[in-house]
Amino acid sequence: MIVVMQNGASEAQIQSVIDRMVRMNFTVHRSTGVMHTVLGGIGPEDDIDPVDFEVLEGVKEAHRIASAYKLASRPFRPGGTVVQIGNVQIGGPNVVAMAGPCSVESEEQINLSAELVAGAGAKVIRGGAFKPRSSPYSFQGLGEKGLQLLRQAADRHGLLAISEVMDQTQIPLLAEYADILQVGARNMQNFNLLKELAKLRKPVLLKRGIAATVEELLLSAEYILSGGNYDVILCERGIRTFETSTRNTMDISAIPVTKKLSHLPIIADPSHGTGRRDHVLPMARAAVAAGADGLLVEVHHDPDRALSDGAQSLRPEQFSELMQQLRIIATAVGRTV
């Protein structure tokens, strides 16, 4: 149930509606917008007539939420969510670039990466320390050492840091070193992990699973939101289809679809989306033109020697070119980079 309070409703009126909802066995999540406070009630909405709320003092309107996900749905925050981390906003007018190597490999590599991505205009450095590899014989990441190196490189160059958390036992470690915890495509429906991340008060980047619908992505986000962590950023990173000419099929349409259904910011990962560096630029342009709030891009100072995902990693000069092109595309759609 969504209860939208009138513009200027008093705190006492809001509290009285919350009390009423709690008495009716709803768990209440409050969202304070520029104009209206919205109360999202999770509970027995099928048994209750929205009119029961509409007649209360200070209420503008009340309605049931038709979708299976409630707190992730657009009506909960019609104006959209802006995830604020330091002075970086994700979901605001600025298109935020998160870039760096697939994996943290060494101190030299991650420092060079931070220098070059910061120089080109990225706000966040990426780098996996725990890697979900299809083969157990592939490089698995440097673990905590990798996180330490990532943090140092980020701080040295004034960047935020994002890294993947593979299971719930790693959450404290990731929370210590990273500003954003990434849930990889393979873990989008690891519900135990999502429930633990719901208790955290740090932003989570939730990647779409390789065979997940947009609705399933939003239901996974709902696991995190319903535990009280509202700082969720979605990521389209390509899905598996019958097409074999790219590593995955980058579903650009998921961006406007998700924007309509949900208030959460959504970014795009054209690196995993295509699997080839020569396709990354066009898909990055397309994603920003389609309304993406940011990009997650793999960049390596020497991709031919990368320990993971070298073929899809941009060379430094290609990343600079991407950022220059993005400035033009972003301006065309009323955004900035």
Interacting residues with Mn ion (CB under 5 A): 102, 309
185's contact among ligand PEP, Mn ion, none, with CB below 5 to 8 A by partner kind, is ligand PEP
Tell me which of 237, 247, 279, 300 binds ligand PEP, using CB under 6 A: 237
| In contact, 153 and 126? CB cutoff 8 Å | no
Nearer to ligand PEP, 58 or 238 (CB): 238
Given the rule CB under 6 A, which of 19-27, 182-190, 299-307, 329-337 is the region that contacts ligand PEP?
Answer: 182-190
Nearer to Mn ion, 102 or 150 (CB): 102
> Given the structure tokens 């135990």, which residue do they identify?
192
* Minimum separation from the CB atom of position 185 to ligand PEP (A): 4
Contact between 161 and ligand PEP by CB under 6 A: the answer reads no
Nearer to Mn ion, 102 or 117 (CB): 102
Structural tokens at position 146: 């990798």
CA distance 94 to 331: 10
CA distance 120 to 118: 5
Contact between 102 and ligand PEP by CB under 6 A: the answer reads yes
Nearer to ligand PEP, 91 or 275 (CB): 275
207's contact among ligand PEP, Mn ion, none, with CB below 5 to 8 A by partner kind, is ligand PEP
> Do you know the residue count of the chain?
337
CA distance 56 to 295: 44
| In contact, 328 and 300? CB cutoff 8 Å | no
- From the CA atom positions of the chain, what is the Rg in Å? 21
Count of Cβ atoms closer than 10 Å to residue 157 Cβ: 17
* Minimum separation from the CB atom of position 206 to ligand PEP (A): 10
Kindly determine how many residues on this chain lie close enough to bind ligand PEP according to the rule CB under 6 A. Answer: 10
Structural tokens at position 28: 């209440």
| In contact, 182 and 162? CB cutoff 8 Å | yes
Closest CA to 95 of 334, 330, 333, 332: 330
For ligand PEP, what does the binding mask look like between residues 184 and 223, x meaning CB under 6 A? xxx--------------------x----------------
* Minimum separation from the CB atom of position 26 to ligand PEP (A): 35
Structural tokens at position 131: 């890697």
Nearer to ligand PEP, 67 or 168 (CB): 168
| In contact, 260 and 234? CB cutoff 8 Å | no
| In contact, 252 and 289? CB cutoff 8 Å | no
Tell me which of 40, 91, 101, 128 binds ligand PEP, using CB under 6 A: 128
Nearer to Mn ion, 70 or 279 (CB): 279
Given the rule CB under 6 A, which of 24-32, 67-75, 180-188, 259-267 is the region that contacts ligand PEP?
Answer: 180-188
132's contact among ligand PEP, Mn ion, none, with CB below 5 to 8 A by partner kind, is ligand PEP
Of all residues in the shown chain, the one whose CB is closest to ligand PEP is 184
Tell me which of 123, 247, 272, 300 binds ligand PEP, using CB under 6 A: 272
* Minimum separation from the CB atom of position 209 to ligand PEP (A): 9
Closest CA to 24 of 42, 38, 6: 42
Contacts of 28 (CB under 8 A, 6+ apart): 18, 21, 22, 39, 40, 41, 42
Q: What is the largest CA-CA distance in the chain?
A: 66
Q: Which of residues 42-81 bind ligand PEP (CB under 6 A)?
A: none
CA distance 149 to 127: 10
Query: Could you list the residues that contact ligand PEP (CB under 6 A)?
Result: 102, 128, 132, 184-186, 207, 237, 269, 272
